[in-house]
Amino acid sequence: MNSHPMPSTTFIRREISALEAQGWPVVRYAVRDSGLPRVDPDDQREYDLTRRLLDAGPLALLGALIVEAIGRPSRFLRALGGAWRLARRSERGLAIHLIYLAESCLLRRWAARDEVGHLHVHFGTNSAAVAMLCRLLGGPSYSLTVHGPVEFDAPQTLALDEKVRHATFAVAISSFGRSQLWRWADPADWDKVHVVHCGLDVDFLHQEPTPPSGAPRLLNIGRLSAEKGQLVLIRAAAELARRGREFELTLIGDGALRPALEAEIARLGLEGSVLLAGWRSGADVRQALLASRALVQSSFAEGLPVVIMEALALHRPVISTAIAGIPELVRPGESGWLVPAGAVSELADAMEAALEADPAELFRMGAAGSARVQADHDVRTEAARLASLFPTLDRDPAPRAEAHAPA
């Protein structure tokens, strides 16, 4: 991964745990420390188990580059050519891709030492570039999960087609995501692309259903960033206020958009109705979902948000924009409401409908959503599907209850 763990990528942690429970020994590598808070104890554990390439320092990266260039010149030249091709298509330039090459040299050495048989990469960005260059250096085979939306915003400059070409296989998290990979990959590589959903563990899937809150409480969860569309959500909240509707709207998460959201909340006079709660632990998020009537996601661009799965698993209906893979999970009138992206009035209408809905109706919608999540997003099933795609590798004879930090 580029960074691991992060508050917004708990699905990766769940996938790793499920693979380990099925007997797969997993070593964690990341490019860098995200610098984000580790509010969940499980994130601290993952942090301690993860080795970060940039933590080794510039001298270690330069040393690995020199050793690979001298000791494996033909492989090094092949990887150097790969870095050059990626740089020509990228907006980031050759210097950054030479750093990726140095990172890949160090990664190859770490993977050899740790007897890694295959690398699986999350996201088709710089982490996939490092894994691809590592492979060209003679390192282990690799595969990648493409989540979106960032990869689909810049598929050509990220060279998605080349990353898929050199991969053993590629994973999309929805049928929509697969269509986008098919759009940019060479048709000769289409058979490499598989759908493996992000999943939830038994703590969510076997949650005893509880009735929705009687309070007029709505919840939004995610990074505070432009693609999440929270400014539209604040304006929809203002529309509710103009209609005389009482409500509480809490946004859990943080990010670059926070100052703009704070200013918009103040401009619209919503300080008493809208709360920016910052990052919260997994336990806190779960309690916030249980204390709400519905989850509201106003995104402009997405893959398929795991928080939608979490809300539905807890029997809470979802209001969301009808984009990307979301309509594959949220069905209008069955498990929630779908509205056009950027449509303030339609979003306000859906929020008002959730606030007015009879508790029995909300419970029925939540139950329908929960059944769908259990069928399609069980992390144990999805991890087994992912593992079935790995090249032939050895597993532990018995599943491990705990992972161990690499030496």
HSE-up of residue 247 (Cα within 13 Å, Cβ side) = 28
Whole-number pLDDT of residue 394: 58
Burial of 337 (0-12, 13-18, 19+ CB in 10 A): buried
What is the rounded distance in angstroms from the CA atom of residue 156 to the CA atom of residue 303?
18
Residues 263 and 276: beta-carbon distance below 8 Å: no
191-203: burial string, b at 16+ Cβ within 10 Å, e else: ebbbbbbbbbbee
What is the rounded distance in angstroms from the CA atom of residue 10 to the CA atom of residue 35?
16
What is the rounded distance in angstroms from the CA atom of residue 146 to the CA atom of residue 121?
9
125: phi then psi, degrees, rounded to nearest 5: -100, -135
**Pairing state between β 336-339 and 318-321:** parallel
CA angle 252, 253, 259 (to 5 degrees): 110
Give the relative orientation of helices 344-356 and 230-242 as an angle to the nearest 10 degrees: 60
CATH number for the domain running over 10-199+379-389: 3.40.50
Q: Quick one: which of 116, 169, 173, 170 has its CA closest to 148?
A: 173
What residue segments make up the domains of the chain, in order of their start?
Answer: 10-199+379-389, 202-376
| Same fold for the pair 10-199+379-389 and 202-376 | yes
Whole-number pLDDT of residue 37: 87
HSE-up of residue 301 (Cα within 13 Å, Cβ side) = 11
Whole-number pLDDT of residue 213: 86
HSE-up of residue 83 (Cα within 13 Å, Cβ side) = 23
Whole-number pLDDT of residue 60: 98
pTM check: above 0.85: yes
Q: Quick one: which of 56, 57, 33 has its CA closest to 43?
A: 33
Q: How far apart are the first and last CA of the chain?
A: 19
Mean pLDDT by 10 residues, the chain (407 residues): 92 97 97 91 94 98 98 97 97 96 98 97 98 98 96 96 98 98 97 98 88 94 96 98 97 97 98 96 93 97 96 97 97 97 98 96 95 97 98 56 38
Residue range 202-376 forms a domain whose CATH class is alpha beta
